[in-house]
């Protein structure tokens, strides 16, 4: 009786016409069906596509349903959650104890009017709305009714499946533009009882008229000639036949047949299954015996019988046994007796120099002036240098049992063959300095003329062409970009990288992809060459979701330009540059973090394609805006933008435009600082050498 009551309770959510609907008794306008408690949560779509008068129709739809239910903390509890790009609980299962206060709560709902994150909403209902803290009761059916008018902007299939596995029965009601595939992915099976779609919001109230009949349906197992041989199981407006354990339902859907558990593989026997009506027993193959669990088998241990006469060890095998010897012994032809082996004499050892034989085994030793290594097999010359048993001033060169002295580069060995004298490296080696060589004890360094900087090779001189920046690129991975265009975006990124002087101490590049969420593809400190970065860019997977540009700017400011991810300290005066690429309007607010990024000293570039919004690009870009934002209607034209960006990001001599990122004055100051430092160091070195 309890099972039938539970199933009848869940039936009020069914939104399809039943064949027996007209024959069922219908409660009067002041009569409520009392078929048991249920915890019900409405999940309503309040995205911007739902017009105000349509939302009012949805509000009336919920109130009409509540008027047919027995509302109360011990009867039917109801909660309401609305969602768009975010999720908001309007009231929980424990908030209202009567119909009047519940209706008042529904009438006070204010629509969110944003995106359509249905998957996020289902996860909220599963983890929060149906929780003990929110009023969910144990052993009471959980029912969720989702009403939506559009396609979800996130994934729903996985989270809906997880919710159903937790026992939540889901009904999906689609209106107007709703996607049937998404509705079926959300709803509980069978779909014909849980999925409904109507042409407009004005029609959804018609389904509320069916709820009372479904709730007060007839139990056909009790009131009809069902014909089930063993068990009849009721469902709203119908029934099904079931069988007792050990039996299976025949094709006629009514009679039952005994199950052959051995044939169906449902026995658990390790080797042999012996079938009996509705049951089975296990047995074992020859040479095996049945274990105490009556299912698994163990090989018979013939060695345990004590009649094997093996000299050392007896090993049982199927239907018999054989003898083996301990390590260092061999089995003789009689198959039982063991004889010790001289491994050294037979050459069965891996000693590098000396083998010392013992009974059935061996040890290794070494010749004079050698010592045995930790592997106890190989030998190493006694290293007097490593043991500190020498008096060399700089370098000790070891030979077995002896040593000799040598000097570091730039020094020569004195006549005592132990001490060293400094040499003028600039005059004794091919230093390769482009401008000037300065000797130091045992080494040298190169300096450049005023107005030039020492390049990464440490020898050649150049202009401010190789000045440094920290560059983070934010690329749009929303579904509107499309896979083929996303490949063009990655080529665009690599064109920008080609125009930079990338190195660990030069320009650093980081990449972030954003859609409905933000993902760091690689931070500033991961790659140190242009080829490494370009290879990593081409491996980036397309996210294909929404467009949360504001969230991406927040991530860039708080994470990408942190020293933990490779940004160099502000004290080093290395410019920080952010480049945002997008093809559409942001689904969240960009104002706050676009402003904070520029206030933090980040030079911001905005690149838009297709449906990108010019006002948003201008809000992101640094001043002067005209030199920091770019737009094209076609993805195929973004290579031209990459060439134009080269003028502003890479201050090379060949650039025709103004330098936007690197300050020539700052570069001049860096050259002056380097020259002053090198000059002081040169004077200090010459003074001490003389």
Around Cβ 681, how many Cβ atoms within 10 Å? 14
Element (H, E) at 208: helix 205-215
CA dist 409 and 395 (Å) reads 10
According to CATH, the superfamily of the domain at 470-645 is von Willebrand factor, type A domain (3.40.50.410)
**What does the pLDDT average to over 362-384?**
89
Measure the CA dihedral 36/37/38/42, to 10°.
Answer: 110
What H or E segment, with its residue span, contains residue 162?
A: helix 157-165
Q: What pLDDT, on the 0 to 100 scale, is given for residue 667? A: 43
How large a percentage of the chain has pLDDT more than 90? Answer: 41
27 near 160, Cβ under 8 Å? Answer: no
Per-residue confidence (pLDDT) for residue 455, from 0 to 100: 62
DSSP class of 12: G
Give the side-chain half-sphere CA count within 13 A for 323.
Answer: 18
CB 218 within 8 A of CB 24: yes
Res 380: pLDDT? 86
Lowest mean pLDDT among 159-168, 227-236, 324-333, 610-619: 227-236
Give the list of residues 6+ apart from residue 507 with CB closer than 8 angstroms, or none.
Answer: 468, 469, 470, 471, 500, 501
469: nearest Cα among 371, 363, 561, 336: 561
The CA distance from 72 to 77, in Å, is 6
Considering the entire predicted model, what is its pTM? 0.34
Q: How far is CA 17 from CA 196, 206, 208, 212, 233, in A?
A: 11, 11, 12, 13, 21
Residue 454: per-residue pLDDT: 64
Q: What percent of the chain has pLDDT over 70?
A: 81
Predicted confidence (pLDDT) per residue in 678-687, tens digit: 554 455 444 4
The pLDDT confidence band at residue 24, using thresholds 50, 70 and 90, is very low
* DSSP state letters, 563-623: GGGTPPPGGGT--EEEEEEESS--SS--HHHHHHHHHTTEEEEEEEETT--HHHHHHHSPS
DSSP string, 181-194: HHHHHHSPSSHHHH
What is the CB-side half-sphere exposure of residue 182 using CA atoms within 13 A?
22
- Find the mean pLDDT for residues 402-419: 89
Measured CA distances, 73 to 137, 153, 193 (Å): 10, 35, 27
CA gap 400, 385 in Å, rounded = 10
Question: Is the model's pLDDT at 9 over the cut of 70?
Answer: no
Q: Give the pLDDT score at 32.
A: 57
- Site of tokens 């929110």: 134
Residue 184: pLDDT band with limits 50, 70, 90: very high
Q: pLDDT digits over 245-260, tens only?
A: 778 889 988 899 888 8
Neighbours of 656 (CB within 10 A): 5
- pLDDT digits over 74-105, tens only? 889 999 999 999 999 999 999 999 999 999 99
Q: DSSP letters of 264-307?
A: TT-S--SSEEEEETTEEEEE--TTEEE-TTSS-EEE--GGGGS-
Residues 6+ apart with CB under 8 A from 545: 153, 154, 477, 478, 479, 515, 516, 517
Contact by Cβ (8 Å): 524, 470: yes
Angle at the Cα of 84 (from 83 to 86), degrees rounded to 5? 75
Q: Sign (positive/negative) of CA torsion 46, 51, 52, 54? A: negative
Per-residue pLDDT, averaged over 662-686, amounts to 45
Who wins on pLDDT, 466 or 221? 221
Burial class (CB in 10 A: 0-12, 13-18, 19+), 371: exposed
Give the gyration radius of the chain's Cα atoms.
Answer: 41
Pick the CATH number of 38-216 from 3.30.360.10, 3.40.50.410, 3.10.20.600, 3.90.1200.10: 3.40.50.410
Give the separation between CA 620 and CA 616, rounded to whole angstroms: 6
Contacts of 116 (CB under 8 A, 6+ apart): 45, 47, 49, 83, 84, 85, 148, 150, 151, 152, 153
pLDDT value of residue 235: 55
User: Cα(511)–Cα(507) distance, rounded to whole angstroms?
Assistant: 14
299-325: pLDDT as tens digits: 888 888 878 889 889 998 888 888 999
What are the residue ranges spanned by the domains of the chain?
38-216, 304-340, 470-645
Q: Is the pLDDT of residue 528 over 70?
A: yes
CB count in 10 Å sphere of residue 406: 15
Which of 94-108, 168-182, 342-356: highest mean pLDDT?
Answer: 94-108
Cis peptide upstream of residue 190 (ω within 30 degrees of 0): yes
Q: Which pLDDT belongs to residue 600?
A: 94
Confidence of residue 452 (pLDDT cuts 50, 70, 90): low
pLDDT at 224: 65
Are the C-beta atoms of 55 and 46 separated by less than 8 Å? yes
Per-residue CA distances from 559 to 510, 527, 564, 597 (Å): 11, 17, 8, 12
Dihedral of CA 212/213/215/216: which sign?
positive
pLDDT of residue 649: 47
Tokens of 106: 């529904």
As beta bridge partners, residue 404 has 397
The DSSP letter of residue 540 is P
The position carrying tokens 């949360």 is: 548
pLDDT of residue 259: 81
Helix crossing, 52-66 with 99-107: angle to 10°?
Answer: 170
Nearest Cα residue to 188 out of 172, 166, 204, 207: 172
Residue that wins the pLDDT comparison between 644 and 681: 644
Task: Characterize the bridge pairing of strands 238-242 and 518-522.
Answer: unpaired
Three-state SS annotation for 426-494: HHHCCCCCCCEEEEECCEEEEECCCCCEECCCCCCEECHHHCCCEEEEEEECECCCCHHHHHHHHHHHH
Establish whether domains 38-216 and 304-340 are of one fold.
no
For 583-640, the pLDDT digits (tens) are 889 999 999 999 999 999 999 999 999 888 999 999 999 999 988 988 888 887 787 7
CATH number of the domain located at residue range(s) 304-340 in this protein:
2.10.25.10
- Can you tell me whether residue 26 is helix, strand or coil? coil
Which is higher by pLDDT, 600 or 13? Answer: 600
């Amino acid at each position: 009786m309890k099972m039938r009551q539970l199933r009848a309770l869940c039936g009020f959510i069914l939104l399809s016409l039943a064949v027996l609907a007209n024959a069922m008794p219908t409660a009067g306008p002041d009569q409520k069906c009392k078929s048991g408690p249920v915890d019900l949560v409405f999940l309503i779509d309040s995205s911007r596509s739902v017009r105000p008068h349509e939302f009012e129709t949805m509000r009336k739809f919920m109130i009409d349903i509540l008027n047919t239910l027995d509302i109360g903390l011990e009867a039917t509890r109801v909660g309401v959650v609305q969602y768009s790009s975010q999720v908001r609980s309007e009231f929980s299962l424990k908030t209202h104890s009567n119909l009047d206060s519940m209706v008042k709560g529904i009438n006070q709902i204010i629509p969110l009017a944003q995106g359509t994150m249905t998957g996020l909403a289902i996860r909220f209902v599963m983890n929060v709305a149906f929780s003990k803290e929110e009023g969910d009761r144990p052993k009471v059916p959980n029912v969720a009714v989702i009403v939506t008018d559009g396609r979800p902007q996130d994934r729903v299939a996985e989270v809906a499946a997880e919710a159903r596995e937790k026992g939540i029965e889901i009904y999906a009601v689609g209106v107007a533009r709703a996607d049937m595939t998404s509705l079926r992915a959300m709803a509980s099976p069978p779909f014909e009882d849980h999925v409904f779609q109507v042409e407009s919001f004005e029609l959804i109230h018609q389904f509320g008229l069916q709820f009372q009949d479904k709730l007060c349906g007839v139990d056909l197992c009790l009131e009809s000639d069902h014909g089930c041989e063993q068990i009849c199981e009721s469902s709203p407006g119908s029934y099904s036949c079931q069988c007792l354990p050990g039996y299976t339902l025949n094709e006629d859907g009514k009679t039952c047949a005994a199950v052959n558990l051995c044939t169906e593989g449902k026995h658990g026997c390790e080797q042999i299954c012996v079938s009996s009506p509705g049951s089975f027993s296990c047995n074992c193959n020859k040479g095996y015996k049945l274990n105490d669990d009556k299912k698994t088998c163990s090989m018979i241990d013939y060695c345990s019988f004590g009649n094997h006469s093996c000299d050392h060890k007896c090993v049982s095998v199927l239907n018999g046994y054989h003898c083996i010897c301990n390590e260092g012994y061999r089995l003789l032809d009689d198959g039982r007796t063991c004889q010790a082996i001289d491994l050294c004499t037979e050459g069965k050892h891996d000693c590098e120099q000396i083998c010392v034989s013992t009974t059935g085994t061996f040890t290794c030793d070494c010749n004079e002036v050698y010592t045995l290594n930790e592997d106890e097999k190989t030998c190493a010359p006694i290293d007097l240098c490593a043991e500190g048993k020498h008096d060399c001033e700089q370098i000790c060169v070891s030979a077995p049992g002896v040593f000799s002295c040598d000097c570091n580069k730039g020094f020569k060995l004195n006549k005592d063959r132990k001490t060293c004298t400094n040499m003028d490296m600039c005059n004794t080696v091919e230093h390769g300095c482009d401008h000037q060589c300065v000797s130091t004890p045992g080494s040298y360094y190169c300096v450049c003329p005023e107005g030039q900087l020492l390049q990464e090779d440490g020898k050649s001189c150049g202009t401010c062409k190789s000045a440094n920046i920290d560059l983070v690129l934010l690329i749009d991975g929303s579904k509107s970009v499309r896979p083929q265009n996303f490949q063009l975006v990655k080529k665009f990124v690599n064109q920008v990288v080609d125009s930079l002087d990338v190195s660990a101490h030069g320009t650093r590049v980081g990449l972030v992809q954003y859609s409905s969420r933000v993902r760091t593809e690689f931070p500033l400190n991961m790659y140190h060459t242009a080829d490494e970065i370009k290879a990593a860019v081409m491996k980036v997977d397309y996210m294909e979701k929404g467009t949360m540009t504001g969230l991406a700017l927040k991530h860039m400011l708080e994470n990408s330009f942190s020293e933990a991810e490779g940004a160099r300290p502000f004290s080093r005066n290395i410019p920080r540059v952010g480049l945002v690429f997008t093809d559409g309007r942001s689904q969240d607010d960009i104002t706050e973090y676009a402003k904070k990024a520029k206030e933090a000293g980040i030079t911001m570039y905005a690149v838009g394609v297709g449906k990108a919004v010019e006002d948003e690009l201008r809000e992101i870009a640094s001043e002067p805006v005209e030199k920091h934002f770019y737009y094209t209607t076609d993805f195929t034209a973004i290579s031209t933008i990459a060439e134009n960006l080269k003028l502003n990001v890479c201050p090379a001599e060949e650039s025709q435009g103004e330098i936007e990122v690197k300050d020539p004055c700052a570069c001049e100051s860096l050259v002056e600082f380097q020259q002053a430092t090198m000059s002081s160091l040169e004077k200090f070195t010459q003074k001490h050498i003389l």
